[in-house]
Amino acid sequence: MESKYTRYLLIGLTVFCIALIGITSFSDGWLAPLRTGVGYFLIPIQSGVNKVGITIYDELTDYASLKSALDENKKLQEEVAQLTEENNRLVSDQFELRRLRELYNLDQEYLQYEKTAARVIAKDSGDWFQVFRVDKGSADGVEVGSNVMAGGGLVGIVTDVGAHYATVRSIIDDSSRVSSMAVQSGDTCIVAGDLTLYEEGRLRITNIQKDADVKEGDRIVTSNISSKFLPGILIGYASDITLDSNQLTSSGYLVPVVSFRNLQEVLIITQVKETGDQVGQ
């Protein structure tokens, strides 16, 4: 009985295998055109999908690269801004150090006078510092008539003072007159303020006696007979001295040692030359 069952099983398996072989052979021939047609339809779609995928991938890669570049650029800009600010601060500090060194040298040159340093905090309208205000006043020993120096020489004189401020009229102001003398000869003259003339970088020298020895390049300083300016403070250098039309006096020009375009710090002499005369002579 078992032998008969086994024989039927073998016959069934053999028939099944033959059927599979036949179906496979028949299917390959019958399905080939269908498979080819489907391929013609699906391959372009697959190619397009691949291209889209590649494009999207490239775009995402480019976006990531762009975002990274933008972040790096922003970081660099911040670093540049910080370095620029630090450089500007260093340059400003360097200029301030140079100005303070000049004030120190000026202070050492006139050790005979007591002084206090002050910062310029305001000025009259216009291009020049003909009248300006500083941050030191009577509380610091400043008085009306105190002489003011900067940039190697005389700037002007204090005309008004409060507890913590003072107003300075410079030697270029139209109303300024300074009794002066030539260092080389001691001959006297008057240095007159003139804002229009200072546009050329010069002031007027007048009242030079005909036989006086004042010539081109002479150092002009405040004179001993000045009523309000302490003696020996450098004002500038004589230029173009000529005989006046009256044949009795000579006049010319003075090139100031101080630049009145940009004053930031000054030295104020706290001792005043009291003679009872008017300020600025």
132, 103: one domain = no
Q: Please name the residues in contact with 267: beta carbons below 8 A apart, sequence gap of 6 or more.
A: 103, 106, 107, 115, 116, 117, 118, 148, 149, 150
pLDDT, residue 278, reads: 44
Helix (H) or strand (E) holding 124: none
- What is the domain range of residue 157? 115-272
Whether residue 142 is found in the same domain as residue 214: yes
Which among 111, 129, 153 is the end of a domain?
A: 111
Same domain, 141 and 65: no
What pLDDT is attached to residue 64? 77
Please tell me the predicted confidence (pLDDT) of residue 60: 67
Instruction: Examine the domain organization and report whether 156 and 102 are in the same domain.
Output: no
Measured at the CA of 58, the angle between CA 53 and CA 60, to 5 degrees, comes to: 95
Specify whether 131 is located in the same domain as 262.
yes
* 1 domain-assigned: no
Instruction: Please indicate, yes or no, whether the overall pTM of this predicted structure exceeds 0.85.
Output: no
Note the pLDDT tens digit of each residue in 66-125.
778 778 777 777 777 777 776 676 666 666 667 778 778 888 999 999 999 999 999 998
In a domain, 181, yes or no: yes
Q: Please report whether residue 150 resides in a domain.
A: yes
User: What are the CA-CA distances from residue 272 to residues 104, 177, 191 (Å)?
Assistant: 21, 17, 20
**Any domain includes 245:** yes
The confidence score (pLDDT) of residue 276 equals 47
**89 and 131 share a domain?**
no
82 plus 151 within the same structural domain: no
- On whether both 138 and 155 belong to a single domain, the answer is yes
Residue 25: per-residue pLDDT: 57
β-sheet bridge partners, residue 28: none
**Quick one: 162 and 255 in the same domain?**
yes
The DSSP code sequence of 61-90 is HHHHHHHHHHHHHHHHHHHHHHHHHHHHHH
Q: Is residue 30 part of a domain?
A: no
Asked if 107 and 119 sit in the same domain, the reply is: no
Q: What is the pLDDT along the chain (281 residues), one digit of tens a residue?
A: 555 666 666 676 667 666 656 655 555 555 556 556 545 555 666 666 566 667 776 766 777 777 787 787 777 777 777 777 766 766 666 666 677 787 788 889 999 999 999 999 999 988 899 999 999 999 999 999 999 999 889 999 999 999 999 999 999 999 999 999 999 999 999 999 999 999 999 999 999 998 999 999 999 999 999 989 999 999 999 999 999 999 899 999 999 999 999 899 999 999 998 764 444 45
pLDDT the model gives residue 254: 97
Residue 239 belongs to a domain with what CATH number? 2.40.10.340
Same domain, 59 and 175: no
Specify whether 178 is located in the same domain as 223: yes
pLDDT value, residue 279: 41
Per-residue pLDDT at 280: 45
How many other CB atoms are there within 10 angstroms of residue 72's CB atom?
Answer: 10
Number of domains in the chain: 2
